[in-house]
Chain A
Amino acid sequence: MTTTQSQATEVVDMITLVIDGFEVSVPKGTLVIRAAEKLGIQIPRFCDHPLLDPVGACRQCLVDIEINGRAFPKPQASCTIPVEPGMIVKTQLTSDVAEKAQRGVMELLLINHPLDCPVCDKGGECPLQNQAMSNGQAESRFEGKKRTFEKPINLSSQVLLDRERCVLCARCTRFSEQIASDPFITLNERGALQQVGIYEEQPFESYFSGNTIQICPVGALTSATYRFRARPFDLVSTPSACEHCASGCDMRTDVRRGKTLRRLAGDDPTINEEWNCDKGRWAFKYITALDRLSQPMVRNADGELVVTSWPEAIAAAAAGLSGAKAAVLVGGRATYEDAYGYSKFARVALGTNDIDFRARPTSDEERDFLAAHVVGSSATYKDIDKADHVLLVGFEPEEESPIVFLRLNKQVKKRALKVTSIGTKLSIGVEKLGATFVKVAPGSEAAAIASQSLTAQSIILVGERASESAGALSAVAALASQSGAKFAWIPRRAGERGALEAGAIGNLLPGGRPVTDAAARVDLASAWSVESVPTHLGRSTKEIISAVNSGELSALVVGGVDPLDLDSSAETMSALKKAFVVSLEIAPSAVTERADVVLPVAAVTEKSGSFLNWTGSARAFDSAVADSLNRSDVRILSMIADALGKTISLGTVSAAAREIASLGLWDGARASFTATPARSAAPLAADEALITSWRRLLDLGTLQKGEENLAGTARQTIAVISPKRATSIGVITGDRISISNAQGSVVLPVLVEDIHDDAVWAPRNSRGSELLSKLGNAHGGVVKVVKA
């Protein structure tokens, strides 16, 4: 159960009441059922959920209540009644009436329940089962006919409904409406035939649908992925952190005989409360995929990758890197500790600052912005709770950081929080937030940002895509300094904030130490016991690729980078081919095909570590799979460094964590930031448009591989153009259009909607719309849009 977060400074009216003879004081407004919890008195319940509005439907939590000597004539639902002074509550423990009422309701709940616990996923962790044991009777007096239904039916490709097991508590429908704002499921029919249903024309395509399964107090909702896979008591559960985005969810990973079978939302009131998104819940099949890399491989003289022993592979890697001009590319899935490993490896073992964690389109403006304003900063979810106005820049919360979306949505619902979004296309998520949408042409974000007026209580949430619009981040910094508003940078990937703090970028050393600051370099060198650290400003991802192609660099250490995520995939492929490549990866990729040494690494459930969420706070986790043979990146890097004779002494994840902690944050001056001017838009021909896009939560992302049930709930792949453009090229919604440039083209069904006349939107990485690999540009580039 969640606890009410109240600061010591806030004055809370406390109310004292008596429950089962014990006095208890709770904040005004507390429900009786929760006041009882405070005393450790568990009143049975089904429909009650601390994060949902009370409904009082199941009637399981009936208790006897009297207030100042006046007794209610009948037992009351303790989940709907707030405490009052002078209240005397008698629960099932001290009142025969309450006890019988609860027993009676339990018996009624079970008359139409199939009692198929032995084959039910929920058996063993089922509130109905548990409370039937604790507050019910062993024998039913029901001898009649049970209500039967066909079972199960699909609410979506992932969520299955067994209507016979359903106790109609409406937790799922209330969650969808109240928390996710996706009211795609509802109760229909009436009486005992009442059931959860979907609409004919709107599928249950909610990014948060999995939560309905987790809060279902019976086995009515099950997931296609987990159904019939395990009994709860056969699972080993480990608290874990989600590797999919920077929201920072607490998670629980359930493993059976070494195989990850299920992941659930954990309970962290400050971050994800008790929710997570469907990607975090279900996108884990990549971990158990059959094509996982499990043994090291080295490319032989014939150009074939052959399996070798670890010592041989490490030696081969060291031999290739030794003396080479090498750089490091590390993707956003690295843990804080692994990113630190790459960062130290680059500086100490390779002697270079050429390292970049940003496996995506980037800019120097962003690099400088991160160093000057983001590293070491700490905006929190609480800042959203308190904000008078939230400005979203280059950021689609529902698609790119779903828990941030839920928090915004909560505040919008609770206190009509004002939200403004500056973007190229109105999204479903922004629409759900009732946000003011400032529509701009791709590339023209800076001017729109500058025209906003905020206060010191406001917060700007800026996404990683702001880097794709010149001047946008500079405008954010200017707006914040002029208004006093807070701002937070919310990258999409889970590892990016940690990698930034770990210095896995060309202009920063670990702990926010600017590369260009001699004192910072000396500080780090002494902590590392090395003579010096490299002084030059390191190259960015794109610059590293070109430097390999131009021969300035000759070797690459690549960890967790998908070349197709870069806006120069062709150049990247040729660079990978040209350079000596050491690949640390969990599954075969385009890098593997071109690598000289392939070193398998542990997936997130197989190692310990931590991720820093967008607020900069860490969530550490232990390996959920006991005795995994796979090693974390940092440990392998440490072995290569040893082989190179330039030790980094990071033999374990905990060693890295200890070293990070002892290094601490740089307390000297931050890197300075020079504003980048916005670029003025070039005129467009009639059939030309500026491409704009973002990644959908559910798309072709590498970590979503192999989960077809999840993919089935993804949003439709469509391109969006304005009515004006639709008329001019003669298409209507549903027709197909071609979006092309010199590099390639995509053909997609079109949706005519309110979008800037100069823009065409398509999902960045969905099937048929792989913009970066096909067009080499995903925001601001000129493309030709014609009827296909």
Chain B
Amino acid sequence: MTKLVPILSAHWDEKDSFTIEAYTRNGGYKASAKALSMDPDAVIQLVKDSGLRGRGGAGFPTGMKWGFIPQGDNKDHYLVVNADESEPGTCKDTPLMMANPHVLIEGCIIASHAIRAKYAFIYIRGEVTHVVRRLNQAIEDAYKAGHLGKGIELVLHVGAGAYICGEETALLDSLEGFRGQPRLRPPFPAIAGLYARPTVVNNVESIASVPAIITNGAEWYQKYGTEKSKGMTLYSLSGHVVNPGQFEAPLGITLREILEIAGGVRSGHKLKFWTPGGSSTPLFTDAHLDIALDYEGVAAAGSMLGTKALQIFDETTCVVRAVLRWTEFYKHESCGKCTPCREGTWWLVQILRDLENGSGTEEDLAKLLDLCDNIMGRSFCALGDGATSPITSSIKYFRDEYIAHVTGKGCPFDPVASTIFSTTGAR
């Protein structure tokens, strides 16, 4: 009955799942051996055929991205894994690397072989020191076991804690030792990426998905998912839900189905709003419970699948307060390069703060929407766009709640009620 398909997460519940022994015991490093015996172009073709799409949020076909790397150009190529998972609500790569770092390493070996890279880099956010330690150990073990170091070197680079470094070109700047700020494109990383060499930048989950595709074939992968969104993926459920966590299911599952598996919204409460793919994706309400959670389904409903970070908020949550929190995050993390994001988030926070504490006006809503219109699509990178999503979508669905803040001269919610330690919530 369950719709879950644990492939990446198949062995997460084994005590030693993160060790090379467990990984090998469960069939690990056979895919890389197989891939290394294949022609690199055949590996790329296989990944293309599987329909695997980037799991970092944009959903760009992974095989096609690999195919963009110019071949026979006598230049060094690089693989860079984006493990700078920092989006509020997104928590899939971190547990993946924690529970099974070797599948990522094996994916790196296969991808490097496919794009003819001798060096692969994993850029990981600096805050997750436990994962850094575990990955370091895993890389060391993979070297000892001879999986790495024979034509493919893997380097783990620890970031210094900037959301912007999850943007692939900012990540490359940071990896090169500069301040992380997005680069002007073109040239795209596939032509001039790390150290101005052809570079593939992939999300952790995308790369980790590759070994299973090599082992089981493209057709096997194609069986899962929907027409244009193939395969299975990790949905991360968090917030007001009974059993939060990662749920691996074929693309196209609905929130209603996942919520069922996860035990539903916390007892005595009902779903108010949720994000389909992290805070940068326009939020949904309980009216969207049956939307297919694949790239097309979510987009058709006016949002983005993003990182499949399903943050669940029940009716105790003040949407204005939640949006203010997110906006404060974007203001804090704006890199400062472009005007709309840098100045816009500075301003948005001030208006939202006024609204939340009751000193706002109804005209502020129009101003907020107009400001968002001046930021969305005007900023240098997607971070500025993302900052506007929670605001515009929350005003769309919860305008009355904003107005209630104005007319009631303050927030009508008890902030304690929405906390995990609230007596009403924990009932």
Contact = CB atoms under 8 A, between A and B. Distances in A.
B350 to A, nearest CB: 4
Contact of A75 (B332, B336, B344, B378): B378
B347 A111 contact: yes
A235 interface: no
Interface string B375-387: 1011110000000
Interface in B201-242: none
Given A54-B184, A58-B339, A141 B367 contact: yes
A59 B179 CA distance: 20
B336 A59 contact: no
Interface stretch (A114-122, A185-193, A457-465, A621-629): A185-193
Given A56-B184, A111-B343, A168-B342, A192 B378 contact: no
A145 B184 contact: no
B374 interface: yes
Given A74-B378, A192-B334, A60 B339 contact: yes
Contacts of A145: 350
Interface residues of B, number: 32
A73 B378 CA distance: 11
Interface in B305-356: 331-340, 342-347, 350-351
A147 B373 CA distance: 23
B339 A187 contact: no
Nearest to B180: A190
A107 interface: yes
Nearest to A60: B339
A80 B331 CA distance: 26
B184 A194 contact: no
Contacts of B373: 100, 104
Contacts of B345: 191-192
A105 B336 contact: no
A6 B337 CA distance: 34
Nearest to A113: B343
A80 B184 contact: yes
Contacts of A107: 374
A346 to B, nearest CB: 60
Contacts of A73: 377
Contacts of A60: 339
A199 interface: no
A59 B347 contact: no
Interface string B359-392: 0000000010011011101111000000000000
Contacts of B350: 144-145
A108 B377 contact: no
B367 A108 contact: no
Contacts of B375: 104, 108
B179 A147 contact: no
B179 A112 contact: no
A59 B380 contact: yes
A167 interface: yes
B406 interface: no
Nearest to A62: B378
Contacts of A147: 346
A145 B350 CA distance: 8
A109 B340 CA distance: 8
Given A100-B374, A144-B351, A188 B179 contact: yes
Contacts, number: 99
A56 B380 contact: yes
A194 B336 contact: yes
A142 interface: yes
B162 interface: yes
A104 B340 contact: yes
Contacts of A191: 331-336, 342, 345-346
Q: Which of B164, B334, B342 has the most CB of A within 10 A?
A: B342
A198 B162 CA distance: 22
Contact of B343 (A57, A101, A112, A186): A112
Contacts of A57: 337-339, 380
B378 A104 contact: yes
A771 B333 CA distance: 55
Interface residues of A, number: 37
Contacts of B347: 108, 111, 142, 144
Interface string B154-185: 00000000101000000000000001000010
B338 A58 contact: yes
A145 B162 CA distance: 25
Nearest to B376: A74
Contacts of B351: 144
Contact of A190 (B162, B339, B379, B380): B162
Contact of B184 (A55, A59, A142, A144): A55
Contacts of B374: 100-101, 104-105, 107-108
Contacts of B162: 190
B377 A74 contact: yes
B338 A192 contact: no
Contacts of A188: 179
A422 to B, nearest CB: 32
B335 A108 contact: no
A73 B377 CA distance: 8
B340 A112 contact: no
Contacts of A105: 339-340, 374, 378
A295 to B, nearest CB: 57
A167 B339 contact: yes
Interface string A58-82: 1110100000000001110000100
Contacts of A190: 162, 164, 333-336
Nearest to B353: A144
A773 B11 CA distance: 84
Contacts of B331: 191-192
A738 B162 CA distance: 52
Given A58-B338, A168-B342, A191-B331, A75 B184 contact: no
Contacts of A187: 179, 336
Nearest to B351: A144
A172 to B, nearest CB: 15
A190 B170 CA distance: 13
Nearest to A72: B377
Contacts of A168: 336-337, 339, 342
Contacts of B379: 59
Contacts of B333: 190-191
Given A60-B339, A62-B378, A144-B351, A108 B344 contact: yes
Nearest to A170: B337
Q: Which of A58, A108, A167, A193 has the most CB of B within 10 A?
A: A108
A173 to B, nearest CB: 11
A145 B349 CA distance: 11
A187 B337 CA distance: 9
A60 B338 CA distance: 10
A142 B349 CA distance: 12
A74 B343 CA distance: 19
B389 to A, nearest CB: 15
A112 B339 CA distance: 11
Given A59-B380, A75-B378, A192 B335 contact: no
B180 to A, nearest CB: 9
Nearest to A186: B179
Q: Which 8 A-B pairs have the closest CB atoms?
A: A104-B374, A194-B336, A74-B377, A144-B350, A108-B343, A191-B334, A192-B346, A190-B336
Interface of B: 162, 164, 179, 184, 331-340, 342-347, 350-351, 367, 370-371, 373-375, 377-380
Given A56-B338, A168-B339, A192-B334, 19 more contacts: A56-B184, A59-B339, A59-B340, A74-B378, A100-B373, A100-B374, A104-B340, A104-B371, A104-B378, A105-B340, A105-B378, A108-B374, A167-B339, A188-B179, A190-B164, A191-B345, A192-B345, A192-B346, A193-B336
Interface of A: 54-60, 62, 73-75, 80, 100-101, 104-105, 107-109, 111-112, 141-142, 144-145, 147, 167-168, 186-194
11 contacts: A57-B337, A57-B380, A60-B339, A101-B374, A108-B339, A108-B374, A109-B343, A111-B346, A168-B342, A191-B345, A192-B342
